[in-house]
Amino acid sequence: MVKLLDKLLELFSSLKLAIFLILSLAFYLGAATCYESRYGTRAVQDVIYGSRPFILLMALLSINVMGAVLVRYPWKRKQTGFIITHCGIEILLLGCLLSFRYSVDGRFSLQPGQKTEVINLNDEEVGITMADAGGKERRHVYPVNLWSDAGYPGLAHFVAGSLGQIMLGEHSPVPLANEPRWYKDHVVEWPLGGGAKIQVLDWLPAAVGETVVQATPDGVPAAIVHLGGHLPNGMPMDQSIPLLADSQGDGMVRPFGGTLELDLWKARSPEEIQEFLHPPAQADLPELGQVAVYLGGKRYTVDVKQENFGKDQPLGDSGYTASVIDYVIHAPPPQLPENHGQQAIASEPIDPQISFQLTGPQGKKKYLLAAWHPQFMAHLDDAAPAVGPDGQPSDAPHHSGASSDDPLIWYWNPQTYTTTKDGTRGRLWMIQSPEGELYARMFQLAQANQKPPAPFAVVVGKELSNFWLNISLTVTQSVPAGTLVNQYRPAHVEPKQMDDHARAIKVALDVDGSHQETWVEREGGPIELNTPRGPVQIDYGFREYELGFSVGLDHAEQTNDPGSTQAASYTSGVTFAGTGTDKNDGPKVITMNEPVSTNGLTFYQSGFSDDEGSVISTISVRHDPGWVLKYLGCAGIVGGIFTMFYMKAYFQKTPAQATAALQAQAGKAKQGKISPSKSGNARPAGAGANRAKTPAAKSA
């Protein structure tokens, strides 16, 4: 057993092993530097420095250094510098281990007046809050270390691929992607207990969010409209706009400050499609427009004229009468019905609206009709609700959306066919038929001797050029029944920008037979899914660290260089509370290169933003438990090297050894042993301790 231990000690303390480990470490560090420049800091930390081979390499190096010291026991005086150097290396490695395992590295952002007791660490995690099989709510947390799963190469693959690209270019047998992707069909599974599980299907360390259409059996008409081309100032246009024809008004979108308007709705009947595709001619309409009413499968019209306001007009033989109560020539959205009145008349028609009353066997019903928004036919009720939307008593008249029992009523105005130069300059109507077909109409500024564009059937993927100015329009996605979901695609960013970019993870949740997939964005808020066990919340963010005291931001400011707007420094005034000592509590000032330390944590000013008066200060927090050992280790290495090279004469011989050497030299001189010098003078052969060593010196 003793011989085995001696052989192991000899093996792990050998110089050959030391040379191999040092060269391997140099190789690792060089390759890791190239890896970081290509894939970013977080990737190299997890894939290279956090890998088992690198940790094993550092462990072997530590064993080799300690073995080199132990194998020389009992130590001699001349080995003092050697021992100090190797002990310094061991202390340095121990400090690095403590920093690797127990350091704190995070940050927080506050506005003046806010305070916090937690910070966000750089480590990421996914949290799942759900009920277990017994109905008790539990939270499951899993760290996100998915770089290797996301296609980022290991060290051997990276080195082989890099060398292959250097020597063979595109013909390298080991491909090396600039932007790695999640392996196809690869799944990382996390158990949730009771047979439930969550699977990671994809992970994007740099992601761009986009809204897409997803077909669902109980959905509503949904579409994605893409705007391309160039703006009047020459800037390229590349924007996708989602439309959802639900009851919340998401079917109407007004981008660019309302200069454009996109509308999508579902037709309630085939008559509405016919009205959409075959409107009355603009030249045939009265000045204030015309109302089309469908009753019993027949179409009736009512002219909107000032002299007929408030007068009932019979609708043929239908048994109904209709009247226009009031007219508003200028009613840009949002226009509330209670604001209707002649005092709202403006210089040019912008979305004219009317109050329209229909009287029949079932009584009277009053509606709000808009020339630009025929899909928003709404009920008007003269009786005020007892309580308004804010829970307070209300005197305002009540209004609500039209129901499926209401007849089709459409208000046509000459202004329906065009847009205005001072308001909305481009409009797009899209209507889905009961059979699922999609039709559209485009409305633009009126031009002399030019008819309004005719309605047309929408072809998904077909570009409509010059929809507005030089902007083209393309319906890229459309489903008769669906919903809008957020998805993500890789973002093409530089490695140094990757850590601060949006990040997203795609997961599949399996609970008691239900399977649901969703994307979750980092720091984008929780996603809630309904399961047989009730709602499940999934969130993705940074791991939190409790400070044990509170930090409040009193003020933050930016100091500029004289005569410029270039930032010279950022300063934050903070107040610590609950640290446990009066010395650490109270107001402090943190500025760049002047951090503040309290309770073992150091606070650095790392960021500042001022967006239209909204000031946000970002403070980095660090705690390194191994910093003392790392400094001691470095001091030991320097001291040991100094001892070996500059105090060699002192440590190489003891005083007794030096005396014996001199006596031996003197004895040889008396016996007449001399050697000729280069200058021709004789000198004792043993003179000069550095040229001839006595047996006593050799044993030193």
For 447-501, the pLDDT digits (tens) are 656 677 888 999 999 998 877 777 888 999 999 998 888 889 898 888 777 877 8
Q: Where are the alpha helices (DSSP H) in 450-550?
A: 495-498
Dihedrals φ, ψ of 314, to 5°? -65, 145
Band (pLDDT 50/70/90 cuts) for residue 679 is very low
Is residue 608 within 8 A of residue 618, CB to CB? The reply is yes
Distance CA 196, CA 133 (A): 9
Q: Does the pLDDT at position 661 exceed 70?
A: no
Is residue 556 within 8 A of residue 112, CB to CB? The reply is yes
Residue 274's Cα: distance from chain center in Å?
A: 46
Question: If we measure between CA atoms, which residue out of 241, 245, 244, 267 comes closest to residue 254?
Answer: 241
Question: If we measure between CA atoms, which residue out of 311, 275, 632 comes closest to residue 431?
Answer: 275
Band (pLDDT 50/70/90 cuts) for residue 47 is very high
Distance CA 333, CA 353 (A): 11
Dihedral angle, C-alpha 408, 412, 416, 422, nearest 10 °: -110
Q: Does the pLDDT at position 516 exceed 90?
A: yes
**What stretch of H or E contains 650?**
helix 648-652
Question: If we measure between CA atoms, which residue out of 262, 263, 301, 288 comes closest to residue 408?
Answer: 301
Instruction: Dig out the tokens for 192 from the structure.
Output: 């949730």
Is residue 200 within 8 A of residue 146, CB to CB? The reply is yes
Dihedral angle, C-alpha 208, 210, 212, 214, nearest 10 °: 70
Distance CA 419, CA 538 (A): 45
Distance CA 498, CA 491 (A): 9
The pLDDT value given to residue 662 = 62
Peptide bond into 314 cis (omega under 30): no
Task: Encode pLDDT of 69-98 as tens digits.
Answer: 998 888 888 889 999 999 999 999 999 999
Q: Does the pLDDT at position 344 exceed 50?
A: no
Please give the residue that has the higher pLDDT: either 108 or 584.
108
In which residue are the tokens 């140094």 written? 496
Instruction: Return the bridge partners of 448, or none.
Output: none
Task: Encode pLDDT of 417-426 as tens digits.
Answer: 887 766 677 7
Distance CA 335, CA 370 (A): 10
The mean pLDDT of 168-185, rounded to a whole number, is 86
Task: Encode pLDDT of 51-68 as tens digits.
Answer: 999 999 999 999 999 999
Question: If we measure between CA atoms, which residue out of 255, 251, 252, 219 comes closest to residue 240?
Answer: 255
The pLDDT value given to residue 375 = 75
**Residue 49 DSSP one-character state:** I
Peptide bond into 334 cis (omega under 30): yes
pTM tops 0.85: no
Please give the residue that has the higher pLDDT: either 125 or 494.
125
The pLDDT value given to residue 658 = 55
Question: If we measure between CA atoms, which residue out of 130, 176, 217, 237 comes closest to residue 474?
Answer: 237
Band (pLDDT 50/70/90 cuts) for residue 373 is confident
The pLDDT value given to residue 699 = 38
